[in-house]
A and B are shown apart, each in its own frame.
Chain A
């Protein structure tokens, strides 16, 4: 650990100036921030408020008679997310490292509390804690962050200390166990969507940590084998299988997932090149797509803003991923690399799964679209993720 802090001495020992000068100085951490990443993430979050607004302004059953109810809350969520983002930058991912054991245990406790009477079931998944006053949190969103941080700390410790070039088998096993515990709890909720994302995070983290190939290959094989076993041993009920497969064949679950899939596809398909115009989508106004402000927010963009608007969202997401990958590649240490790669895996898979399900190429799972979907926990978590990326970026060696 001591070796690590020494490599950042240059930053710490910058000459003392007043605050404004300090922030604008060439060596200032702000100048080293990835502004493209930030602006793209901000554009997504702000732009999505229009989509949330469009999806909910007629939902008198949800918006308590206030058409701007969800719009305002979405913006408040974004503000809180930005505050968390600022806090993460201020603390820095390196200093956060010491708090990771604490954060990890805390997130396990909160996850466990969801399974107690404190938890609430929404849409069939018991993964909510209702805080009262209309607020509730989804601890599984934060668990993604703690898994990334926890695994990164474990896997990078001996490498960054210069003891090894790659993590040893024992460390990899420890990291996997560390990830498996919260995943196991979330599986019991059951929130298969979040578990899927975590599996991808684990894979991404292992990849980036330089863990031996056999672990990566072994894990993928185990995943495939497990899926086959689940299928063969009929561990899933027929309804779960139908629900899973309905994205490809809506007729398997016509009243449930198939309905969603079908209506989402109609909404997006009918948008055409330029869309029907904000607030003018018939599918959106007619509330044909369930969960439209959260999991199916992309259909609003597809229908009302067309290929141009929905394509812009994909483009912005693409820029975010690209910048995040760049940060991972340019990180000064393995810890930073692994954290950034974990966040990339998280964002990329979640975005692919979410948009893919609205387009009918991925099974339907209750996952929000990062930055875009309405929902506090998700917004907070993704902005913490952006904070981690920026922190890695800002604390990279000057030479890079």
Chain B
């Protein structure tokens, strides 16, 4: 050992040991640095990740408030169903992504595996419906109508169905009381989208959406969504890696939504819907000599308005659909049936979205305009068979002529040439084609009657209609100038090309023909049934224009008043009392002697006991059959019905509207029987409520609406999927309306 150092090591070994030590300690220093980086530098990020990891938010849906009719009958409520839902998160943890589970589930539920698969996939731009539009972390309902047996099968074999739950759940239900469908008025719900949840996060209270919320997408469900929805409860659960609950991190309880009481009377609603369908069906049996075919009567709308408040007693739109189709997610087939062209778009509420020229029902406006322009109510005006104005011949309806008549008579018999004459006279006074400070009484008056503007009814997507005044003409010209002038040198000589050539030159000019046509509600004028209902309500109530409204009050779940919704006055008609009385007399004459007499007094209406007023209208539509209008009112109600391609006003809707009044006032065989009356006066008070919050529905009116539900021409319109087709069990299911509450 003489040749090695005392320590037994060479210098090389000593150096290498130092290197080893440096290496070892630098490895540990590396770990320390990395530890600092994770815990101190990025600690916050991981703290968030950890809490996201172990906190699961389970939302407890709030029971949605009910939409009630004026007597407290439930138009939109809730029912308890066994809902089978699937959690995507649990499915994705399966080896096969949950395919086997879904296939087993489809077997138990008697559905096809493809259907189940489609229902639980997430919606995106490429995915056709059905798909899940809601939050991917929320259980997705596969069926809302499971039997107890199916639920038992699933819950007893939990290991075979990871992520599948079967739970009694409160679901929206449109029970159609008295057969009232009111689909477009009520609207429907669908799950809130992730984007909507994100966008609502800086709002507070009920306006802030939770991932499981169902929100109103149309109708009253949409307008009063914040009242109805309630506040979703959130249960923050601490879970372990397998999702087992190991503790609670706080709970926000669900608060049930408020109820909305409407002015709808479901019995009247049902009656109106049936009469509208009946009228359309009857119209299809009438031969149209112009088009040489039966009337198509493809769609229609009817409104019953309380003339003293503007509240809607009934509002029907045809074609309609069953709003229950939306509950628990609409199927692809149903969605297609509601939206394709063939369906004729039953989702549209034609009472507020249906546009057509008002035809002769506009003449009450023209009469007021004439009075404002200085024409005497006592004067006589020539009702000739035709007038030649600006080189064009404007004919009376079917070439009738009555000689010199009063404006009253002109309204009664709906003489066009009287109004042509006055309008032409005015047009000349306003300066003709070179207007000088035009007074434009006819256009001004229409605006004063609330036409050409939205009425402000508490329903979404109302349309404004159109009054073709000078401003509109100019705007229209500016918009179409280039298209018209492109045809300037076209060799074609057809009517459209000719008009385009004319318009290119002076399309902005209000021509005599425009003014004349306008005065009888033809031409470019467009109105909605709700606008006309308001006009005729104002005639009935002494000239006040109310904002049409469906909701009367918002009530808490216990029935206590949360918010009263008072009638809102929008304006006044320009007419003096005298003018109004004059028009009222004229419109009463329409019932007794005029264009509607054959459907009213001649059909046994007791005009001496209950005075009705009416104005008929038959609006011409380019390329289509005429639109029928019948606008009527009593001292209490305005009833307006219009049918697209439905023929004449009185012919199309006369019987139907008379039957609606018969139902309202209890008229049978020409006699008034108060016991049969559905609603002789609009319901002014709010419904009473039981201590549990359910409404006390009056049963004073013992006669079922169906007494009046059979129009002379037979029962119900074919192919209608709404009220009439609703199976009777829907009402039985509603035996205990508060049942879902006990779940909350």
Contacts and interface: CB of A to CB of B under 8 A. Distances in A.
Interface stretch (B8-16, B115-123, B133-141): B8-16
Contacts of A112: none
Given A210-B10, A270-B50, A311 B35 contact: yes
Interface string B1-22: 1111011111011101111110
B645 to A, nearest CB: 61
Given A162-B1, A266-B50, A314 B31 contact: yes
Interface in B227-253: 238-242, 246
Given A266-B53, A282-B238, A288-B241, A273 B40 contact: yes
B125 interface: no
Contacts of A356: 30-31, 34
Contact of B8 (A266, A317, A332): A332
A340 to B, nearest CB: 9
Interface in A142-185: 159-160, 162, 165-166
Contacts of A159: 4, 8
B82 to A, nearest CB: 32
A333 B9 CA distance: 7
B148 interface: no
B51 interface: yes
B32 A359 contact: no
Given A209-B13, A333-B8, A359 B35 contact: yes
Contact of B20 (A58, A208, A311): A208
Interface residues of A, number: 65
B54 A286 contact: yes
Contacts, number: 175
A117 B274 CA distance: 84
A341 B239 contact: no
Contact of A348 (B4, B14, B24, B53): B24
Given A282-B238, A310-B39, A359-B38, A162 B3 contact: yes
Nearest to B242: A287
B28 A352 contact: yes
Interface stretch (A22-30, A122-130, A238-246, A323-331): A323-331
A286 B35 contact: no
B418 to A, nearest CB: 82
Contact of A325 (B24, B32, B39, B246): B24
A337 B35 contact: no
Interface stretch (B41-49, B341-349, B475-483, B661-669): B41-49
A334 B40 CA distance: 44
A76 interface: no
B8 A283 contact: no
Most buried by A among B14, B31, B36, B239: B31
Given A269-B38, A271-B43, A399-B6, A210 B16 contact: yes
Given A333-B8, A334-B9, A282 B51 contact: yes
Interface in A385-400: 397, 399-400
A302 interface: yes
Contact of A268 (B6, B35, B246): B35
B25 interface: yes
A350 to B, nearest CB: 11
Contacts of A348: 23-24, 27-28
Contacts of A352: 27-28, 30-31
A334 B239 contact: no
A112 to B, nearest CB: 32
B246 A285 contact: yes
A269 B48 CA distance: 10
B17 A325 contact: yes
Contacts of B40: 272-273, 307
A265 interface: yes
Contacts of A165: 3-4, 10
Given A285-B246, A287-B240, A334 B53 contact: no
Contacts of B10: 165-166, 210
B8 A331 contact: yes
B20 A325 contact: yes
Interface in A360-397: 360-361, 397
B49 A266 contact: yes
Contacts of B36: 307
A197 interface: no
Contacts of B50: 266-267, 269-270, 282-283, 303
Contact of B24 (A307, A321, A360): A321
Interface of A: 3, 7, 58, 159-160, 162, 165-166, 204, 207-210, 263, 265-273, 282-283, 285-288, 302-303, 306-307, 310-311, 314, 317-318, 321-322, 325, 328-334, 336-337, 341, 344-345, 348-349, 351-352, 355-356, 359-361, 397, 399-400
15 contacts: A162-B2, A165-B4, A166-B12, A204-B20, A268-B46, A270-B43, A270-B47, A285-B240, A286-B246, A287-B240, A307-B36, A314-B35, A352-B27, A356-B31, A359-B34
Given A210-B13, A355-B31, 4 more contacts: A282-B238, A321-B28, A334-B9, A336-B8
**Shortest 5 CB-CB contacts between residues of A and residues of B:** A269-B46, A270-B50, A325-B21, A333-B8, A286-B240
